Amino acid sequence: MVVMAPSGDIAVQQRDLIVISTVLMLLIIIPVIFLTLFFAWRYRRSNTAATYAPEWHHSTRLEIVIWAAPLAIIIALGAVTWISTHKLDPYRPLDRLDAERAIPADTKPLNVEVVALDWKWLFFYPELGIATVNELAAPVDKPINFKITASSVMNSFYIPALAGQIYAMPGMETKLHAVINKQGEYEGFSANYSGSGFSHMRFKFHGLDQAGFDAWVARVKQQGTMLNRDAYLKLEKPSEKEPVRYYAGADADLYNAILNMCATPGKMCMNEMMHIDMMGGGGKESAENREKLRYDDRHADEGIVAPAATVPATGAPARSEPAERTDGNSMQHDMPGMDMQHEGHSMPGMSNGADPAPAQLNNNN
């Protein structure tokens, strides 16, 4: 029901869009249902008073009604969809606080950087220098600019009272612009299944007046610890039912390192790799970058299996029994260390006396 009674202007506009679309469709659905029942009753076999016209086959007026009404509704729905698709684009900065108030010219938005972890939420406030886990707060009637990413599998950032859901994906950044118009405590959660801890991947969003928000920030700074790379790498490991945590300070470049998948020391950042590709590639020398770009098995040496990771990606054995072929031979293969040649090329990850670099890294001389 919170979707139909939200507290943020974006969510209110989305609610109105749902109502308008439903009403427009009901303009056709209700008459069709009524006429279906009416015709079944009016032209029942026992009603000899009903008109019987076995030679009837066409009515221009009836055809006009049948086609014109749905066409008009489709045009109306198309117009509403076109307008709302642009107006409610999550990447579009806000142009109002609500239906009756524009954003004052001197208003500075609140920037929040969101990271979906396994299985908790990490929030950075870059201008305030603080960070929190599983708790988010914002002043009432102040635009919020969210930047959203993930450390592992895809999630979906969703506060129904504030705005629609936006995906959080590793190595990518999505955006959301929203505003909360009423004070209160609201539920936030992941709306995309992401593994065993998904059910508890929830957080509280507090809509506060400016004084209340300032007090909340002061409490975070007073009670919080420091979020550096080492602390983040411990936090990033999969865990369930994580309590609220405060960080009085955070490394300024930590969010960008998470976004570029290089928070772990010794890893190459994605933007660095993209720059190398843009410049034409690194040639044979880029073979040394292979280990710097390994990511999905970053916890394998600690006995932690990434959520939903495939066996080749992690090197971990399959959890199910190997399938049996009809000829009685097992289909199980030992991928790590397997000696295989294909058209004169070594397959990546399969031993032939040495661990070669991927062929595509050696094509540019």
What CATH number does the domain containing 181 carry? Answer: 2.60.40.420
Residues 256, 273 share a domain: no
d(CA 147, CA 186): 20
Domain assignment of residue 284, yes or no: yes
pTM above 0.85, yes or no: no
Domain assignment of residue 333, yes or no: no
d(CA 287, CA 186): 49
Q: pLDDT tens, 24-67? A: 999 989 999 999 999 999 988 889 888 888 888 888 988 998 89
Residues 136, 110 share a domain: yes
- Under the banding of pLDDT at 50, 70 and 90, the label for residue 353 is very low
Q: pLDDT tens, 63-118? A: 998 899 889 999 999 999 999 999 999 999 999 999 899 999 889 999 999 999 99
Residues 131, 68 share a domain: no
Residues 250, 214 share a domain: yes
d(CA 250, CA 17): 40
Closest CA to 160 of 198, 137, 191, 130: 191
Confidence (pLDDT) at 324 = 56
Contact call for residues 248 and 222 (beta carbons, < 8 A):
yes
Residues 178, 140 share a domain: yes
d(CA 226, CA 251): 8
Residues 148, 241 share a domain: yes
Residues 119, 216 share a domain: yes
Residues 186, 237 share a domain: yes
- Domain extent for 272: 266-296
Say how far residue 314 (Cα) sits from the centre of its chain. Answer: 24
Long-range contacts of 82-90 (CB under 8 A, 24+ apart): 84/13, 84/17, 87/13, 88/10, 88/13, 88/14, 88/17, 88/164, 90/163, 90/164, 90/166, 90/174, 90/175, 90/176, 90/177
